[in-house]
Amino acid sequence: MKPKRLLWQLYPSYLLITLISLAAIGWYASSSMQQFYYTQVAEDLKASARVIEEQVLASYETGDSVSLDELCKMLGTAGKRRITVIETSGKVLADSQENPKQMDNHSDRPEIIEAMKNLTSSKIRFSRTLGLDMMYVAIPLKTQDRVIAILRIAKPVSAINEQLKSIYYKILIGASFVAVFAALLSLVVSRRISKPLEELRKGAELFADGDLSHKLSAGNCQEIDAVAKAMNQMAEEIDGRISIISRQRNEHKAVLSSMVEAVLAVDSQQRLITLNSSAAEMFGVKIFDAKGRTLQEIIRNPALQHFVTNSLAGSEPIEDNITLLKDNSEHFLQAKSSVLQDEQGQKIGILVVLNDITKLKQLEQVRRDFVANVSHELKTPITSVKGFVETLLEGAMKKPAEAKRFLDIIAKQTNRMDAIIDDLLALSRIEQQAEKAEIERENGCIKDVLESAIELCRNKAQTKQIEIELRCADALATNINMPLLEQAVVNLLDNAIKYSPAGSKVGVVAAQADEQISITVTDFGCGIDKELLARIFERFYVVDKARSRKLGGTGLGLAIVKHIAGAHNGSVTVESKPGSGSIFTIKLPA
């Protein structure tokens, strides 16, 4: 059942109490008035009986019942009352309205019975003789303290009731006015009580909707005023706590969002409590869809599930490495867990932090490969030098022709080691300067750089009868470090000349497209297999090692080109097909 408003609970109650009170007062007043009026009439009748008592007694003692009856009729007509004289036997001797000879014996009448006991009595009852409700007052007539007859005076009650009706009507009119006034007053009082409470209700609804800045007005009632002040204070405290919680939540959210590491919070049932954007991106899920679901539903990785299960089973932080297959490639994750506790210190779940160490693994692998490659590249010339030196020491020096050949080989291998070390030092220097932003750049003409690089490679090109074609606008310029960019172009030209057949061409084209300048070196050599293109910019990586050594390559030229392009906030790309040559492009911001 729908609850009623307080106004319609108070007002009917007040109105009902008022009506019941008025009814009770009216009933009590009318009853008291009736009793009072009946008492007054009875006293009047008693007084009238006392007045005519001696006359009636004197006429009775004469023994003339006719005279007595005439006296009663005369007195009754004069006083508008019924006067009756009854013997102690109950026989009616005289009556002011009826023939006494035709009247019944009155010995059984209540007022007569009491009067015969020498008592004055008054009764209201129905008169069988007259057929009316009458008030009777009977007094004993005595001679020498002996009751000899009964004098009864009566008056119809209907006359009394008519007078009482007018009094009842006035009481009813007055009670009606009082009831209307009380109803209006009850309505006003009910509204004064319910209105402040209604304001409190509306204020509480505003608080529930989040409007905690709303202030409840104080009422005239001390209790309601205290409630309003308490609710205002409660709203201020809640607003302050919500602000603190919101600030902390935003701080936590900002921290989690800005973390590169993936963060997962899991409850004791392995349901996700929360996760940050890095975790959502790592596992390819949406944050709002993932919350509340089990880990098995969201992330199908047995290693991670096993790690979470072990973390929930224990009470100490756990660390482990996890492999994740994503985009058809392996990602290596370093997982750490810590216990989540509630305010009572009870364990409610765990927090898992996943750090993607794939790049570190790759860098470690690159480092190992680099050490192995350097060792291998230096080992070969060192072994060769050592062998020929030992051969010379063992007697080959005495043979001038062989000694000269051995020394030429030693010099060649020494030059190769020197070239490797020079390239390693150049590569290291470029990396350090790029990291420290120490590479100075200025607005330079691209064509000048290209012409200088071509000039440095011209002799080698002419040896193989290779023509170098240049296409570049004179006005093309951007912020560059001219020596470094020249070195990068020289390295590309050197490779193009090495791997191009004699009598072919090498093209050098520089152009600007939108906000980018591209420098393209094209050759028509042997080309490179597609699966090898991703690795040719790695240090010491060569497509054909035997041919590279024969041509004097160190395996670091393209790595240097890559780092020089990166130092200019650019990049280098390659397009190649076996038997169709290669196209290397350095892209620089315009």
| Mean pLDDT confidence for 299-324 | 83
The reply to whether 120 falls in a domain is yes
Q: Check which CATH number belongs to the domain holding 412 and give it.
A: 1.10.287.130
User: What is the structure's pLDDT at 49?
Assistant: 86
Q: Contact at 8 Å (CB) between 492 and 559?
A: no
Number of domains composing the chain: 5
Verify that 85 and 118 share a domain, yes or no: yes
CA atoms within 13 A on the CB side of 130: 19
Verify that 275 and 320 share a domain, yes or no: yes
The reply to whether 204 falls in a domain is no
Structure tokens at 133: 């409700």
CA distance 93 to 100: 6
Verify that 327 and 407 share a domain, yes or no: no
* Per-residue pLDDT reduced to its tens digit, 413-448: 777 677 667 666 666 666 666 555 657 778 889 888
Verify that 93 and 159 share a domain, yes or no: yes
Q: Contact at 8 Å (CB) between 200 and 62?
A: no
| Mean pLDDT confidence for 459-470 | 88
The reply to whether 159 falls in a domain is yes
526 closest CA partner among 478, 580, 571:
580
Domain that holds residue 572: 442-589
* Per-residue pLDDT reduced to its tens digit, 525-542: 888 887 777 777 776 666
End-to-end CA distance of the chain: 78
- CB within 8 Å of 367: residues ≥ 6 apart: none
User: What is the structure's pLDDT at 10?
Assistant: 66
CA distance 404 to 400: 6
β-strands 477-480, 571-577 pairing: unpaired
Give the DSSP letter string of 474-485. Answer: TT-EEEE-HHHH
Residue where one domain finishes, among candidates 258, 283, 312: 258
Q: Give 74 or 363, the one with higher predicted confidence.
A: 74
CA distance 588 to 590: 6
Verify that 114 and 29 share a domain, yes or no: yes
- CB within 8 Å of 53: residues ≥ 6 apart: 139, 141, 151
The reply to whether 5 falls in a domain is no
Q: What share of the chain is helix, strand, coil (3-state, %, to 5)?
A: 55, 20, 20
Structure tokens at 327: 């985009």
Q: Is the pLDDT of residue 12 over 80?
A: no
Q: Which helix or strand (DSSP H or E) is residue 147 part of?
A: strand 146-156
| Mean pLDDT confidence for 1-6 | 58
Bridge partners (DSSP) of residue 559 are: none
User: What is the structure's pLDDT at 549?
Assistant: 47
* Confidence band, pLDDT 50/70/90 cuts, at residue 555: low
Computed over every residue of the chain, the mean pLDDT equals 79
User: What is the structure's pLDDT at 553?
Assistant: 55
Q: Contact at 8 Å (CB) between 45 and 114?
A: no
| Mean pLDDT confidence for 212-223 | 70
Verify that 135 and 39 share a domain, yes or no: yes
Tell me the percentage of the chain whose pLDDT exceeds 70. 86
* Confidence band, pLDDT 50/70/90 cuts, at residue 200: confident
Residue where one domain finishes, among candidates 413, 435, 457: 435
CA distance 273 to 270: 9
* Per-residue pLDDT reduced to its tens digit, 563-582: 788 878 888 888 888 878 88
CB neighbours of residue 299 within 10 Å = 20
The reply to whether 210 falls in a domain is no
Residue where one domain finishes, among candidates 337, 355, 373: 355
Verify that 539 and 583 share a domain, yes or no: yes
| Mean pLDDT confidence for 282-304 | 79
| Mean pLDDT confidence for 399-403 | 76
Verify that 254 and 280 share a domain, yes or no: no
User: What is the structure's pLDDT at 556?
Assistant: 72
- What distances in angstroms separate CA 470 from CA 157, 455, 488, 522, one per listed residue? 145, 11, 16, 11
Verify that 321 and 379 share a domain, yes or no: no
* Confidence band, pLDDT 50/70/90 cuts, at residue 548: very low
Verify that 431 and 463 share a domain, yes or no: no
Four-point Cα dihedral 267, 273, 279, 280, nearest 10: 130
Verify that 298 and 418 share a domain, yes or no: no
Q: Is the pLDDT of residue 9 over 70?
A: no
- What distances in angstroms separate CA 301 from CA 171, 304, 325, 326, 348, one per listed residue? 93, 5, 9, 11, 23
| Mean pLDDT confidence for 269-294 | 80
SS3 at position 1: coil
Q: Check which CATH number belongs to the domain holding 496 and give it.
A: 3.30.565.10
Verify that 57 and 84 share a domain, yes or no: yes
The reply to whether 583 falls in a domain is yes
Residues in the chain: 590
CA distance 444 to 422: 26
CB neighbours of residue 144 within 10 Å = 5
CA distance 335 to 271: 18
Q: Is the pLDDT of residue 153 over 80?
A: yes
CA distance 15 to 235: 37
Structure tokens at 60: 């009775």
User: What is the structure's pLDDT at 8?
Assistant: 66
The reply to whether 19 falls in a domain is yes
DSSP character for 96? S
Structure tokens at 522: 């094209």
Structure tokens at 421: 């070390």
Q: Check which CATH number belongs to the domain holding 155 and give it.
A: 3.30.450.20
The reply to whether 182 falls in a domain is no
Q: Is the pLDDT of residue 550 over 60?
A: no
CA distance 329 to 546: 31
Give the DSSP letter string of 492-547. Answer: HHHHHHHTSPTT-EEEEEEEEETTEEEEEEEE-SS---GGGGGGTTSTT--S-HHH
